[in-house]
Chain A
Amino acid sequence: MEVKNLTKSFGENHVLKGFSMKLQEGENLVIMGKSGSGKSVMIKCLVGLMQVDGGRISIKNQDITSLGDEELDILRKEIGFLFQGSALYDSMTVRENLEFPLRRHTIGSKRKENIDSLVLEALENVGLAQAIDLMPSELSGGMKRRVALARALILKPNIILYDEPTTGLDPITAKEIIQLMRDIQLKYGTSSLIITHDVDCARVISNRILLLIDGINYVEGTFLELSNSSDPQVQAFFK
């Protein structure tokens, strides 16, 4: 996945002013930035939830800014997205939440059996097979995040985008989610783009960290490199 000179404005508010980045295969790239720095806007642009004003977003050598709805839907099969607030469908059970992305993409004579086994596998990956018939309202915050992660994984995507995966969770549950993200990356060899301002999360999971400041990629490096930086703007994140 490659982003070049991404720009996005809301009226006079220029959120992204030429942001660029490249996510390598199998890599965990963490993007850090202050609240309101445009991290969530950027990640939504990556999956076509927001129209960009300028720049290029390439996923598997396809520029998503020029794709039609049908082509974009096919490409989205390759991308899992974990939303900040989990975004589980609250009128559906956990099973139906996980089955939902499969409706479009699973065909064949053994469709029902395939769907059942995929749902169970995804839930076992996050340790919640017993919650299969519960409603989202019956789950705790951590469980919701796990189910959302299972849903993001159900189509076995090559790239997973995490929008603030540990926000709003207690430290123990946050550590469990981080561990789960690592396990999934090791098991499936996925590339992950993680938006966070949780330094612990960045330390544990990142291969590389990119700081988004004032709408541009300010600096990038490993956790060690950035945490030892003498730049006050970079230091502010790691104190």
Chain B
Amino acid sequence: MNASSTIGRVRNFIIEIGDLWLFARRYFRQAVSPPFEYKELLFQCYNMGNRSLLLVGVTGFILGLVFTLQSRPTLMEFGAESWMPSMVGISIVREIGPVITALICAGRIGSGIGAELGSMRVTEQIDAMEVSGTNPFKFLVVTRITATTLMLPLLIVFGDTIALLGSALVENLKGGVSLLLYFNKVFDALSFSDILPATIKSFFFGFAIGLVGCYKGYFCKKGTVGVGEASNAAVVYSSMFLFVIDFIAVFVSDIFFEI
């Protein structure tokens, strides 16, 4: 790869970030102006939330199970296995649960939005919507971004709960810790400064997944090949944004709560 092509790619990336910023600004402007597409918003919330439950649940359960199984021998070496619920609880609620659930949703929801809107773009369905007097940005984009922003925190709470159940199961089978005792220890260990930043960043995760998926799909080009590219880019870009948002969230939390 020569220098000019690298510069070209960096330039395109910066332009794309600028376009994404304008797209986000357009979202905020249109989200607060009537008419509001309540029916479509509810449908999208149901669609994204309900259809992701199984995937998030299974992944969360395995995550809690594996995390506890892997950590247990190390903690036992130091005679600190009684700290297991606190350690798993804080790790899952504060960091692992939100990030893993958001990454799963970037793959499941983000790629779906990218492919759906991309396919609507190349088959002129978005144009058809526009000539019929419906604002396609409001109907397709605003509803989807709002739905992901609202549903991701709920999916993360669900995923965290199932992960803790998976962990509790291992503790019960291996250490004889009851479910009640396990969750008592988890909630004793968790504080406001663990829950609040994790909850706030989960809204940003949802927003980023919806925004990138919609942006890639809405401006899809190059026919059916473009649909695949839009779907793929939606996952890649939103995953990257999730880590950037996570870094910023941890940095800001550290300032306010001294983690």
Residue A18 CB within 8 A of the other chain: no
A76: nearest chain-B partner, CB-CB: B133
Please measure, in the bound complex, the distance between the C-alpha atom of A89 and the C-alpha atom of B123, giving whole angstroms. 9
Please measure, in the bound complex, the distance between the C-alpha atom of A84 and the C-alpha atom of B122, giving whole angstroms. 12
A163: nearest chain-B partner, CB-CB: B124
Cβ < 8 Å to A, chain B residues 126-176: 127-135
Supply 11 further A-B pairs (C-beta < 8 A) apart from A85-B123, A90-B119: A47-B131, A48-B130, A74-B133, A81-B131, A84-B124, A89-B129, A90-B125, A91-B116, A100-B129, A103-B134, A104-B134
* Residue among A44, A79, A90, A101 making CB contact with B127, cutoff 8 Å: A44
A97: nearest chain-B partner, CB-CB: B128
Chain B nearest CB from A198 CB (Å) reads: 20
* Residue among B35, B116, B124, B135 making CB contact with A87, cutoff 8 Å: B124
Please measure, in the bound complex, the distance between the C-alpha atom of A76 and the C-alpha atom of B127, giving whole angstroms. 12
- Do B133 and A87 touch (CB < 8 A)? no
Please measure, in the bound complex, the distance between the C-alpha atom of A85 and the C-alpha atom of B224, giving whole angstroms. 14
Chain B nearest CB from A43 CB (Å) reads: 10
**How many pairs of residues, A versus B, come closer than 8 Å at their CB atoms?**
55
Please measure, in the bound complex, the distance between the C-alpha atom of A76 and the C-alpha atom of B119, giving whole angstroms. 24
- Do B131 and A49 touch (CB < 8 A)? yes
Please measure, in the bound complex, the distance between the C-alpha atom of A89 and the C-alpha atom of B140, giving whole angstroms. 12
Residue A238 CB within 8 A of the other chain: no
User: How many of chain A's residues have a CB under 8 angstroms from any CB in B?
Assistant: 26
- Do B134 and A90 touch (CB < 8 A)? no
The answer to whether residues A87 and B130 also contact, given A69-B135, A73-B135 and a CB cut-off of 8 A, is no
* Residue among A83, A101, A151 making CB contact with B124, cutoff 8 Å: A83
* Residue among B123, B131, B132 making CB contact with A90, cutoff 8 Å: B123
Q: Which chain A residues border B116 with CB–CB below 8 Å? A: 91
- Do A73 and B133 touch (CB < 8 A)? yes
* Residue among A44, A49, A90, A104 making CB contact with B133, cutoff 8 Å: A104
B124: nearest chain-A partner, CB-CB: A87
- Do B132 and A87 touch (CB < 8 A)? no
Cβ < 8 Å to A, chain B residues 88-106: none
Please measure, in the bound complex, the distance between the C-alpha atom of A155 and the C-alpha atom of B125, giving whole angstroms. 18
Please measure, in the bound complex, the distance between the C-alpha atom of A77 and the C-alpha atom of B132, giving whole angstroms. 7
Please measure, in the bound complex, the distance between the C-alpha atom of A81 and the C-alpha atom of B126, giving whole angstroms. 13
- Do A76 and B123 touch (CB < 8 A)? no
Chain B nearest CB from A40 CB (Å) reads: 10
Q: Which chain A residues border B120 with CB–CB below 8 Å? A: 89
B134: nearest chain-A partner, CB-CB: A104
Say what secondary structure dominates the interface of chain A.
loop
Please measure, in the bound complex, the distance between the C-alpha atom of A73 and the C-alpha atom of B119, giving whole angstroms. 24
Residue A105 CB within 8 A of the other chain: yes
Please measure, in the bound complex, the distance between the C-alpha atom of A89 and the C-alpha atom of B130, giving whole angstroms. 12
Binary flags per residue of A102-130, CB closer than 8 Å to B gives 1, else 0: 01110000000000000000000000000
A44: nearest chain-B partner, CB-CB: B127
Q: Which chain B residues border A81 with CB–CB below 8 Å? A: 128, 131
Please measure, in the bound complex, the distance between the C-alpha atom of A74 and the C-alpha atom of B130, giving whole angstroms. 12
- Do A100 and B134 touch (CB < 8 A)? yes
Chain B nearest CB from A150 CB (Å) reads: 13
17 contacts between A and B (CB under 8 A): A47-B131, A48-B130, A49-B131, A73-B135, A79-B131, A81-B128, A87-B123, A87-B124, A87-B125, A87-B128, A89-B120, A90-B119, A91-B116, A100-B132, A100-B134, A151-B128, A155-B132
Chain B nearest CB from A202 CB (Å) reads: 23
Q: Which chain B residues border A90 with CB–CB below 8 Å? A: 119, 123, 125
Cβ < 8 Å to A, chain B residues 105-125: 116, 119-120, 123-125
Please measure, in the bound complex, the distance between the C-alpha atom of A94 and the C-alpha atom of B67, giving whole angstroms. 50
Please measure, in the bound complex, the distance between the C-alpha atom of A101 and the C-alpha atom of B135, giving whole angstroms. 11
B39: nearest chain-A partner, CB-CB: A103
Chain B nearest CB from A100 CB (Å) reads: 6
A148: nearest chain-B partner, CB-CB: B128
Q: Which chain B residues border A103 with CB–CB below 8 Å? A: 134
B122: nearest chain-A partner, CB-CB: A85
Please measure, in the bound complex, the distance between the C-alpha atom of A71 and the C-alpha atom of B195, giving whole angstroms. 47
Please measure, in the bound complex, the distance between the C-alpha atom of A105 and the C-alpha atom of B35, giving whole angstroms. 13
- Do B133 and A77 touch (CB < 8 A)? yes
- Do A101 and B125 touch (CB < 8 A)? no
Chain B nearest CB from A119 CB (Å) reads: 14
- Do B132 and A49 touch (CB < 8 A)? no
Chain A nearest CB from B38 CB (Å) reads: 12
Please measure, in the bound complex, the distance between the C-alpha atom of A68 and the C-alpha atom of B218, giving whole angstroms. 21
Please measure, in the bound complex, the distance between the C-alpha atom of A108 and the C-alpha atom of B128, giving whole angstroms. 25
CB-CB nearest 3 A-B residue pairs: A101-B132, A87-B128, A87-B124
Chain B nearest CB from A151 CB (Å) reads: 8
